[in-house]
Amino acid sequence: MKKILLVNAGSSSVKWKLFADETQKPLASGLVERIKMPNSIMTTKYQGKKATDHFDQLTYEAAADLIFKN
């Protein structure tokens, strides 16, 4: 199954959503807040469950790594 990843990067956050190509149904989504600030937060939603993790001053590169690993 092909998938589509939509990413919206702002000055201190990155939002993303993963879609199934055939149905355009959202499979997962997430938000990384407070990038390059103390207490960065990553929230991921997948299969009706929500997970939140805290990090110390995530960079954009580290946030991208976390998004692609999830």
Q: What CATH number has the domain bearing residue 23?
A: 3.30.420.40
29 within 8 A of 17, measured Cβ to Cβ? yes
Judged against a pLDDT cut of 80, whether residue 70 lies above it is answered with no
Tell me the pLDDT tens digit for each residue of 42-63: 999 999 999 999 999 999 999 9
Q: What was the pLDDT predicted at 34? A: 97
Tell me the pLDDT tens digit for each residue of 4-47: 999 999 999 999 999 998 888 899 999 999 999 999 999 999 99
Q: How many domains does the chain have?
A: 1
Q: Which domain holds residue 26?
A: 3-69
How many other β-carbons are positioned within 10 Å of the β-carbon of residue 50?
Answer: 10
How many other β-carbons are positioned within 10 Å of the β-carbon of residue 63?
Answer: 22
Q: Please, is 32 exposed, middle or buried when counting C-beta atoms within 10 Å of its C-beta (0-12, 13-18, 19+)?
A: buried
